[in-house]
Structure 1
Protein backbone atom coordinates (compact mmCIF):
# COMPACT_ATOMS: atom_id res chain seq x y z
CA UNK A 1 0.00 0.00 0.00
CA UNK A 2 1.45 3.37 -0.92
CA UNK A 3 1.66 6.37 1.39
CA UNK A 4 -1.15 8.28 -0.33
CA UNK A 5 -3.58 5.44 0.42
CA UNK A 6 -2.46 5.45 4.04
CA UNK A 7 -2.81 9.25 4.15
CA UNK A 8 -6.41 8.97 2.87
CA UNK A 9 -7.31 6.65 5.73
CA UNK A 10 -5.55 8.89 8.23
CA UNK A 11 -7.53 11.84 6.87
CA UNK A 12 -10.76 9.94 7.52
CA UNK A 13 -9.65 9.32 11.12
CA UNK A 14 -8.71 12.98 11.56
CA UNK A 15 -12.14 14.07 10.31
CA UNK A 16 -13.91 11.47 12.47
CA UNK A 17 -12.15 12.93 15.53
CA UNK A 18 -14.73 15.72 15.46
CA UNK A 19 -17.08 13.25 17.15
CA UNK A 20 -15.11 13.84 20.37
CA UNK A 21 -16.30 17.47 20.32
CA UNK A 22 -19.86 16.72 19.18
CA UNK A 23 -22.05 17.14 22.24
CA UNK A 24 -25.20 15.31 23.29
CA UNK A 25 -27.94 16.34 25.70
CA UNK A 26 -26.74 14.08 28.52
CA UNK A 27 -24.20 14.87 31.21
CA UNK A 28 -21.53 12.83 32.93
CA UNK A 29 -21.50 12.09 36.64
CA UNK A 30 -19.29 15.16 37.09
CA UNK A 31 -21.73 17.34 35.13
CA UNK A 32 -19.69 17.66 31.92
CA UNK A 33 -21.77 17.55 28.74
CA UNK A 34 -21.38 14.13 27.17
CA UNK A 35 -19.90 13.82 23.68
CA UNK A 36 -21.16 11.46 21.01
CA UNK A 37 -17.79 9.70 21.21
CA UNK A 38 -18.37 9.17 24.95
CA UNK A 39 -21.72 7.57 24.16
CA UNK A 40 -20.26 5.39 21.39
CA UNK A 41 -17.46 4.18 23.64
CA UNK A 42 -19.83 3.08 26.38
CA UNK A 43 -22.23 1.50 23.90
CA UNK A 44 -19.40 -0.72 22.66
CA UNK A 45 -18.42 -1.48 26.27
CA UNK A 46 -22.05 -2.38 26.99
CA UNK A 47 -22.04 -4.80 24.04
CA UNK A 48 -18.79 -6.43 25.16
CA UNK A 49 -20.01 -6.69 28.75
CA UNK A 50 -23.22 -8.47 27.79
CA UNK A 51 -21.97 -10.33 24.70
CA UNK A 52 -22.06 -13.69 26.50
CA UNK A 53 -25.82 -13.18 26.95
CA UNK A 54 -26.39 -12.48 23.25
CA UNK A 55 -26.54 -15.87 21.52
CA UNK A 56 -26.18 -16.25 17.76
CA UNK A 57 -24.65 -12.81 17.29
CA UNK A 58 -21.76 -11.82 15.05
CA UNK A 59 -19.93 -9.80 17.70
CA UNK A 60 -17.51 -8.12 15.30
CA UNK A 61 -20.38 -7.00 13.06
CA UNK A 62 -22.32 -5.74 16.09
CA UNK A 63 -19.30 -3.77 17.35
CA UNK A 64 -18.70 -2.26 13.91
CA UNK A 65 -22.32 -1.13 13.77
CA UNK A 66 -22.02 0.42 17.22
CA UNK A 67 -18.83 2.29 16.36
CA UNK A 68 -20.26 3.66 13.10
CA UNK A 69 -23.91 4.31 14.02
CA UNK A 70 -23.55 7.98 15.08
CA UNK A 71 -20.41 8.91 13.14
CA UNK A 72 -22.36 11.16 10.75
CA UNK A 73 -23.11 13.41 13.72
CA UNK A 74 -19.48 14.59 13.59
CA UNK A 75 -20.49 16.99 10.80
CA UNK A 76 -23.70 18.69 11.97
CA UNK A 77 -24.08 17.44 15.51
CA UNK A 78 -26.60 15.44 17.45
CA UNK A 79 -30.28 16.26 17.56
CA UNK A 80 -31.73 15.24 20.94
CA UNK A 81 -34.64 12.82 20.61
CA UNK A 82 -37.30 15.26 21.88
CA UNK A 83 -36.38 17.65 19.06
CA UNK A 84 -36.27 15.16 16.19
CA UNK A 85 -39.18 16.57 14.23
CA UNK A 86 -39.63 18.11 10.80
CA UNK A 87 -40.09 17.04 7.22
CA UNK A 88 -36.75 15.31 6.63
CA UNK A 89 -35.89 12.50 9.01
CA UNK A 90 -32.73 12.95 11.04
CA UNK A 91 -31.28 9.93 9.32
CA UNK A 92 -31.35 11.49 5.82
CA UNK A 93 -29.06 14.36 6.82
CA UNK A 94 -26.95 12.16 9.06
CA UNK A 95 -26.41 9.65 6.24
CA UNK A 96 -25.32 12.41 3.86
CA UNK A 97 -22.92 13.69 6.52
CA UNK A 98 -21.62 10.17 7.08
CA UNK A 99 -21.04 9.74 3.34
CA UNK A 100 -19.03 12.96 3.25
CA UNK A 101 -16.84 11.70 6.09
CA UNK A 102 -16.13 8.54 4.12
CA UNK A 103 -15.00 10.42 1.02
CA UNK A 104 -11.27 9.74 1.51
CA UNK A 105 -11.67 6.02 2.12
CA UNK A 106 -11.23 3.35 -0.56
CA UNK A 107 -14.42 2.16 -2.25
CA UNK A 108 -14.56 -1.18 -0.43
CA UNK A 109 -14.47 0.51 3.01
CA UNK A 110 -16.99 3.18 1.98
CA UNK A 111 -19.30 0.44 0.81
CA UNK A 112 -18.87 -1.65 3.97
CA UNK A 113 -19.33 1.30 6.33
CA UNK A 114 -22.40 2.62 4.48
CA UNK A 115 -23.88 -0.85 4.38
CA UNK A 116 -23.42 -1.25 8.14
CA UNK A 117 -24.88 2.22 8.78
CA UNK A 118 -27.91 1.43 6.61
CA UNK A 119 -28.29 -1.95 8.28
CA UNK A 120 -28.47 -0.21 11.66
CA UNK A 121 -30.74 2.59 10.54
CA UNK A 122 -33.19 0.19 8.86
CA UNK A 123 -32.81 -2.54 11.51
CA UNK A 124 -32.01 -5.14 8.84
CA UNK A 125 -30.31 -7.75 11.01
CA UNK A 126 -30.24 -9.25 14.47
CA UNK A 127 -27.04 -7.29 15.13
CA UNK A 128 -28.68 -4.03 14.05
CA UNK A 129 -31.70 -4.72 16.24
CA UNK A 130 -29.44 -5.35 19.24
CA UNK A 131 -27.34 -2.26 18.50
CA UNK A 132 -30.47 -0.09 18.27
CA UNK A 133 -31.83 -1.46 21.55
CA UNK A 134 -28.56 -1.16 23.45
CA UNK A 135 -28.03 2.34 22.03
CA UNK A 136 -31.21 3.34 23.84
CA UNK A 137 -30.16 1.46 27.00
CA UNK A 138 -26.82 3.32 27.10
CA UNK A 139 -28.63 6.64 26.77
CA UNK A 140 -31.01 5.77 29.59
CA UNK A 141 -28.15 4.70 31.85
CA UNK A 142 -26.33 7.97 31.17
CA UNK A 143 -29.40 10.11 31.75
CA UNK A 144 -29.91 8.45 35.13
CA UNK A 145 -26.26 8.51 36.09
CA UNK A 146 -25.36 11.99 34.89
CA UNK A 147 -25.58 15.19 36.84
CA UNK A 148 -28.19 16.80 34.62
CA UNK A 149 -29.33 20.41 34.74
CA UNK A 150 -32.43 21.44 36.66
CA UNK A 151 -35.57 20.70 34.70
CA UNK A 152 -34.08 17.68 32.88
CA UNK A 153 -37.03 15.66 31.53
CA UNK A 154 -36.54 12.22 33.07
CA UNK A 155 -40.17 11.29 32.37
CA UNK A 156 -39.46 11.44 28.61
CA UNK A 157 -37.09 8.51 29.11
CA UNK A 158 -39.83 6.22 30.40
CA UNK A 159 -41.08 5.85 26.80
CA UNK A 160 -37.89 6.71 24.90
CA UNK A 161 -36.90 3.94 22.50
CA UNK A 162 -39.23 1.42 24.11
CA UNK A 163 -40.17 -0.15 20.77
CA UNK A 164 -36.48 -0.99 20.25
CA UNK A 165 -35.67 -2.20 23.77
CA UNK A 166 -38.85 -4.32 23.90
CA UNK A 167 -37.72 -6.15 20.74
CA UNK A 168 -34.57 -7.59 22.37
CA UNK A 169 -35.13 -9.77 25.47
CA UNK A 170 -31.87 -8.74 27.19
CA UNK A 171 -32.55 -5.04 26.52
CA UNK A 172 -36.09 -5.41 27.82
CA UNK A 173 -34.79 -6.97 31.02
CA UNK A 174 -32.17 -4.24 31.43
CA UNK A 175 -34.81 -1.62 30.67
CA UNK A 176 -37.03 -2.85 33.52
CA UNK A 177 -34.17 -2.27 35.96
CA UNK A 178 -33.21 1.11 34.48
CA UNK A 179 -36.82 2.34 34.35
CA UNK A 180 -36.96 2.07 38.16
CA UNK A 181 -34.11 4.59 38.37
CA UNK A 182 -35.73 6.75 35.70
CA UNK A 183 -39.07 6.81 37.54
CA UNK A 184 -37.31 7.71 40.81
CA UNK A 185 -35.37 10.51 39.10
CA UNK A 186 -38.56 11.80 37.44
CA UNK A 187 -40.40 11.86 40.78
CA UNK A 188 -37.46 13.56 42.50
CA UNK A 189 -37.24 16.14 39.69
CA UNK A 190 -40.98 16.88 39.91
CA UNK A 191 -40.61 17.55 43.63
CA UNK A 192 -38.00 20.16 42.73
CA UNK A 193 -35.01 18.12 43.83
Structure 2
Protein backbone atom coordinates (compact mmCIF):
# COMPACT_ATOMS: atom_id res chain seq x y z
CA UNK A 1 0.00 0.00 0.00
CA UNK A 2 1.43 3.35 -0.92
CA UNK A 3 1.98 6.17 1.54
CA UNK A 4 -0.73 8.42 0.09
CA UNK A 5 -3.41 5.77 0.62
CA UNK A 6 -2.21 5.21 4.18
CA UNK A 7 -2.23 8.97 4.87
CA UNK A 8 -5.74 9.28 3.43
CA UNK A 9 -7.04 6.45 5.60
CA UNK A 10 -5.40 7.88 8.72
CA UNK A 11 -6.94 11.28 7.97
CA UNK A 12 -10.35 9.64 7.64
CA UNK A 13 -9.87 7.90 11.00
CA UNK A 14 -8.83 11.16 12.65
CA UNK A 15 -11.96 12.88 11.32
CA UNK A 16 -14.22 9.93 12.21
CA UNK A 17 -12.96 10.23 15.80
CA UNK A 18 -15.45 13.09 16.15
CA UNK A 19 -18.20 10.47 16.63
CA UNK A 20 -16.82 10.21 20.17
CA UNK A 21 -17.87 13.85 20.63
CA UNK A 22 -21.32 13.57 19.03
CA UNK A 23 -23.86 13.24 21.83
CA UNK A 24 -27.16 11.42 21.51
CA UNK A 25 -30.32 11.81 23.56
CA UNK A 26 -29.65 8.57 25.48
CA UNK A 27 -28.00 8.48 28.89
CA UNK A 28 -25.65 5.85 30.30
CA UNK A 29 -26.23 3.86 33.46
CA UNK A 30 -24.22 6.54 35.28
CA UNK A 31 -26.43 9.33 33.89
CA UNK A 32 -23.87 10.67 31.39
CA UNK A 33 -25.05 11.47 27.87
CA UNK A 34 -24.06 8.71 25.45
CA UNK A 35 -21.93 9.40 22.37
CA UNK A 36 -22.71 8.08 18.91
CA UNK A 37 -19.44 6.11 19.02
CA UNK A 38 -20.59 4.34 22.19
CA UNK A 39 -23.92 3.50 20.57
CA UNK A 40 -22.12 2.16 17.49
CA UNK A 41 -19.82 0.00 19.62
CA UNK A 42 -22.69 -1.60 21.53
CA UNK A 43 -24.70 -2.08 18.34
CA UNK A 44 -21.82 -4.14 16.92
CA UNK A 45 -21.55 -6.02 20.22
CA UNK A 46 -25.31 -6.68 20.20
CA UNK A 47 -25.01 -8.14 16.71
CA UNK A 48 -22.07 -10.29 17.81
CA UNK A 49 -23.80 -11.79 20.85
CA UNK A 50 -26.78 -12.86 18.72
CA UNK A 51 -24.76 -13.97 15.69
CA UNK A 52 -25.69 -17.61 16.33
CA UNK A 53 -29.35 -16.76 15.68
CA UNK A 54 -28.56 -14.76 12.53
CA UNK A 55 -26.72 -17.43 10.54
CA UNK A 56 -28.74 -16.66 7.41
CA UNK A 57 -26.96 -13.29 7.16
CA UNK A 58 -23.55 -12.32 5.80
CA UNK A 59 -22.24 -11.51 9.26
CA UNK A 60 -19.14 -9.68 8.07
CA UNK A 61 -21.46 -7.34 6.17
CA UNK A 62 -23.66 -6.92 9.28
CA UNK A 63 -20.69 -5.85 11.42
CA UNK A 64 -19.40 -3.49 8.75
CA UNK A 65 -22.85 -1.94 8.43
CA UNK A 66 -23.06 -1.53 12.20
CA UNK A 67 -19.78 0.36 12.13
CA UNK A 68 -20.72 2.75 9.31
CA UNK A 69 -24.46 3.24 9.89
CA UNK A 70 -24.05 6.53 11.83
CA UNK A 71 -20.85 7.84 10.20
CA UNK A 72 -22.97 10.48 8.47
CA UNK A 73 -23.50 12.08 11.89
CA UNK A 74 -19.79 12.79 12.32
CA UNK A 75 -19.97 16.39 11.09
CA UNK A 76 -23.42 17.76 11.96
CA UNK A 77 -24.43 15.42 14.77
CA UNK A 78 -27.33 13.20 15.69
CA UNK A 79 -31.01 13.95 15.32
CA UNK A 80 -32.91 12.13 18.10
CA UNK A 81 -35.49 9.64 16.82
CA UNK A 82 -38.25 11.62 18.53
CA UNK A 83 -37.33 14.68 16.40
CA UNK A 84 -36.81 13.08 12.98
CA UNK A 85 -40.14 14.34 11.60
CA UNK A 86 -39.00 17.92 12.13
CA UNK A 87 -35.78 17.22 10.18
CA UNK A 88 -36.97 15.87 6.81
CA UNK A 89 -33.58 16.62 5.22
CA UNK A 90 -31.64 14.53 7.75
CA UNK A 91 -30.79 11.72 5.32
CA UNK A 92 -29.56 14.14 2.65
CA UNK A 93 -27.45 16.01 5.21
CA UNK A 94 -25.94 12.78 6.54
CA UNK A 95 -25.13 11.56 3.03
CA UNK A 96 -23.46 14.87 2.15
CA UNK A 97 -21.50 14.76 5.40
CA UNK A 98 -20.44 11.18 4.70
CA UNK A 99 -19.25 12.18 1.23
CA UNK A 100 -17.18 14.94 2.83
CA UNK A 101 -15.88 12.66 5.58
CA UNK A 102 -14.74 9.96 3.15
CA UNK A 103 -13.13 12.24 0.56
CA UNK A 104 -9.60 11.43 1.80
CA UNK A 105 -10.11 7.70 1.21
CA UNK A 106 -8.99 5.75 -1.84
CA UNK A 107 -11.87 5.14 -4.24
CA UNK A 108 -12.41 1.40 -3.56
CA UNK A 109 -12.63 1.89 0.21
CA UNK A 110 -14.74 5.03 -0.13
CA UNK A 111 -17.17 3.19 -2.40
CA UNK A 112 -17.36 0.29 0.07
CA UNK A 113 -18.22 2.58 2.99
CA UNK A 114 -20.72 4.60 0.95
CA UNK A 115 -22.28 1.40 -0.37
CA UNK A 116 -22.72 -0.04 3.12
CA UNK A 117 -24.25 3.22 4.34
CA UNK A 118 -26.64 3.37 1.36
CA UNK A 119 -27.59 -0.27 1.90
CA UNK A 120 -28.42 0.49 5.53
CA UNK A 121 -30.38 3.63 4.64
CA UNK A 122 -32.52 1.95 1.99
CA UNK A 123 -33.10 -1.15 4.14
CA UNK A 124 -33.61 -3.42 1.14
CA UNK A 125 -31.35 -6.34 2.12
CA UNK A 126 -31.77 -8.85 4.94
CA UNK A 127 -28.56 -7.54 6.48
CA UNK A 128 -29.77 -3.93 6.41
CA UNK A 129 -33.13 -4.86 7.95
CA UNK A 130 -31.36 -6.80 10.70
CA UNK A 131 -28.97 -3.92 11.45
CA UNK A 132 -31.89 -1.47 11.52
CA UNK A 133 -33.70 -3.75 13.98
CA UNK A 134 -30.60 -4.13 16.14
CA UNK A 135 -30.02 -0.36 16.00
CA UNK A 136 -33.51 0.25 17.38
CA UNK A 137 -33.09 -2.48 20.00
CA UNK A 138 -29.77 -1.05 21.19
CA UNK A 139 -31.40 2.36 21.58
CA UNK A 140 -34.28 0.90 23.62
CA UNK A 141 -31.82 -1.11 25.71
CA UNK A 142 -29.91 2.09 26.48
CA UNK A 143 -33.09 4.02 27.26
CA UNK A 144 -34.09 1.33 29.76
CA UNK A 145 -30.63 1.02 31.27
CA UNK A 146 -29.79 4.71 31.43
CA UNK A 147 -30.42 7.20 34.19
CA UNK A 148 -32.69 9.55 32.26
CA UNK A 149 -34.22 12.96 32.96
CA UNK A 150 -37.50 12.94 34.89
CA UNK A 151 -39.49 13.88 31.77
CA UNK A 152 -38.03 11.06 29.63
CA UNK A 153 -40.63 9.58 27.25
CA UNK A 154 -40.36 5.83 27.87
CA UNK A 155 -43.60 5.18 25.96
CA UNK A 156 -41.68 6.01 22.79
CA UNK A 157 -39.80 2.71 23.27
CA UNK A 158 -42.96 0.62 23.02
CA UNK A 159 -43.38 1.17 19.28
CA UNK A 160 -39.91 2.33 18.23
CA UNK A 161 -38.59 0.34 15.30
CA UNK A 162 -41.48 -2.14 15.05
CA UNK A 163 -41.23 -1.99 11.26
CA UNK A 164 -37.87 -3.75 11.59
CA UNK A 165 -38.08 -5.64 14.87
CA UNK A 166 -41.23 -7.47 13.72
CA UNK A 167 -39.29 -9.11 10.86
CA UNK A 168 -37.56 -11.85 12.87
CA UNK A 169 -38.62 -14.01 15.85
CA UNK A 170 -35.40 -13.18 17.73
CA UNK A 171 -36.02 -9.46 17.48
CA UNK A 172 -39.64 -9.92 18.54
CA UNK A 173 -38.52 -11.92 21.59
CA UNK A 174 -36.02 -9.24 22.55
CA UNK A 175 -38.76 -6.61 22.15
CA UNK A 176 -41.09 -8.48 24.49
CA UNK A 177 -38.42 -8.49 27.20
CA UNK A 178 -37.53 -4.85 26.62
CA UNK A 179 -41.18 -3.80 26.57
CA UNK A 180 -41.57 -5.39 30.01
CA UNK A 181 -38.62 -3.34 31.26
CA UNK A 182 -40.04 -0.22 29.61
CA UNK A 183 -43.42 -0.75 31.29
CA UNK A 184 -41.66 -1.07 34.65
CA UNK A 185 -39.90 2.24 33.97
CA UNK A 186 -43.22 3.87 33.06
CA UNK A 187 -44.97 2.50 36.14
CA UNK A 188 -42.10 3.53 38.42
CA UNK A 189 -42.18 7.08 37.08
CA UNK A 190 -45.84 7.61 38.01
TM-score, length-scaled by structure 2? 0.97
SS of match in other structure, 1:30: coil
Give the CA deviation at 1:78: 0.4
Contact kept, 8 Å, 1:133 with 1:168, in 2: the verdict is no
Task: Flag structure 1 segments of 5+ consecutive residues without an equivalent.
Answer: none
CA distance in 1, matches of 2:88, 2:80: 15
Number of residue equivalences: 190
Deviations for 1:44-100, whole angstroms, at most 9, x for unmatched residues?
000110000112111100000000000111110000011112473421111111111
The aligned counterpart of 2:142 is 142
The TM-score normalised by the length of structure 1 is 0.95
Aligned to 1:82: 82
Distance, in Å, in 1 between the alignment partners of 2:87 and 2:153 is: 25
3-state SS in 1 of match to 2:147: coil
Where do residues 23-172 of structure 1 align in structure 2 (5 Å cutoff)? 23-86=23-86, 88-172=88-172
Q: 1:12-31 counterparts in 2 under 5 A? A: 12-31=12-31
Aligned position for 1:174: 174
Confirm or deny: 8 A CA contact 1:64 1:116 kept in the other structure.
yes
Deviation at 1:182, TM superposition (A): 0.7
Against the structure 1 CA distance between its residues 180 and 87, is the aligned structure 2 distance closer, same or farther, given a 3 Å change threshold?
closer
Query: Deviation above 4 Å: which 4+ runs of structure 1?
Result: none
Task: Please state whether the residue corresponding to 1:25 is helix, strand or coil.
Answer: strand
Shift of 1:110: 1.1
Per the alignment, residue 186 of structure 1 pairs with 186
What runs of 5+ residues in structure 2 fail to find an aligned partner? none
